[in-house]
């Protein structure tokens, strides 16, 4: 965004029109960090939250009509709707299905309303077994980082062992960074 050199550890901003993530120096990042500002770019925050006990059972998941067990959902402010993506061998695939059930889930779980449009996503991994499903609020760039990792490792129909190991490692990192989501005036 400017002539400043960007190091390996850096922040990102989202171009709201193109949905592109852009690397930025700290000064440029801070220019776009006011969530209320009506700007073309928005800074991606570094907040990680976990939603323990979120009832995304099979019935609820089926109502969302997402055909896989891993997805991220975020609010697109320009389209004024929630969009779901899921990773695959070609990258992030947008679900073309209507997400009417999402509004019902948010009404039943108001803590989900803390998602900041365009820059934070709800990352959901459904799994059977003792650990069950996991649900985290993460920065949108983390979702695309996961998509990139999986794309390079994907083999066969379901991704293969390496892709599943990468998902396990990624979710372990997310869990380590996450704090419990709480209702505190919408800021979590």
| Percent residues over pLDDT 70 in the chain | 93
Q: What is the DSSP letter of 72?
A: E
Position 12 pLDDT exceeds 80: yes
Comparing 45-54, 109-118, 149-158, 177-186, which segment has the lowest mean pLDDT? Answer: 177-186
| Cα–Cα nearest to 100, from 65, 131, 68, 130 | 65
Question: pTM above 0.85?
Answer: yes
Q: Which residue has the tokens 């099979």?
A: 58
């Amino acid at each position: 965004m400017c002539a400043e050199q960007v190091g390996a550890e850096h922040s990102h901003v989202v171009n709201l029109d193109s949905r592109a993530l852009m690397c930025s120096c700290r000064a440029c990042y801070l220019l776009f960090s006011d969530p209320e500002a009506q700007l073309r770019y928005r800074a991606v925050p570094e907040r990680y939250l976990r939603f323990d006990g979120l009832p995304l059972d099979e019935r609820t998941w089926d109502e969302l009509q997402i055909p896989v067990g891993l997805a991220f959902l975020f609010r697109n402010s320009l389209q004024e709707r929630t969009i779901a993506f899921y990773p695959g061998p070609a990258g992030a695939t947008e679900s073309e299905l209507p997400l009417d059930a999402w509004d019902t889930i948010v009404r039943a779980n108001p803590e989900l309303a803390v998602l900041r449009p365009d820059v934070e996503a709800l990352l959901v991994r459904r799994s059977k077994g003792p650990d069950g499903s996991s649900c985290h609020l993460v920065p949108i760039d983390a979702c695309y980082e996961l998509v990139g990792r999986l794309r390079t490792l994907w083999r066969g129909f379901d991704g293969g062992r390496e892709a599943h190991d990468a998902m396990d490692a990624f979710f372990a990192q997310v869990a380590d960074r996450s704090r419990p989501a709480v209702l505190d005036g919408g800021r979590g």
